[in-house]
């Protein structure tokens, strides 16, 4: 099953602001989106289904 990552308008605005300061941020976010699209359950469980 293929998943799509959708970002909010608020995320886009904050990303644009932070990307000016942290130039590697774009690559990091692209890599994270790729990982989440292929395996959406990566990471550590926070409990109670989170």
SS3 letters across 1-50: CCCCCCCCHHHHHHHHHHHHHCCCHHHHHHHHHHHHHHCCCCCCCCCCCC
The reply to whether 35 falls in a domain is no
> Residue 47: inside a domain, yes or no?
no
* Residue at 25 is within a domain: yes
Q: Which pLDDT belongs to residue 26?
A: 96
Q: Identify whether 17 is part of a domain.
A: yes
Kindly state whether residue 42 falls inside one of the protein's structural domains.
no
In a domain? residue 26: yes
Which pLDDT does position 2 carry in this prediction?
80
pLDDT of residue 31: 95
Domain membership flag for residue 24 = yes
How far apart, in whole angstroms, are the C-alpha atoms of residue 15 and residue 33? Answer: 14
> Which residue segment(s) compose the domain that 12 sits in?
1-30
Residues lower than pLDDT 50 in the chain: none
Rounded CA-CA distance 25/15 in Å is 8
Largest CA-CA distance found in the chain, in angstroms, rounded: 37
* Count of domains observed in the chain: 1
């Amino acid at each position: 099953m293929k998943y799509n990552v959708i970002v909010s308008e608020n995320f886009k605005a904050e990303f644009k602001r932070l990307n000016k300061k942290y130039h590697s941020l774009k690559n990091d976010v692209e890599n994270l989106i790729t990982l989440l699209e292929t395996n959406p359950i990566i990471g550590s469980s926070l409990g109670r289904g989170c």
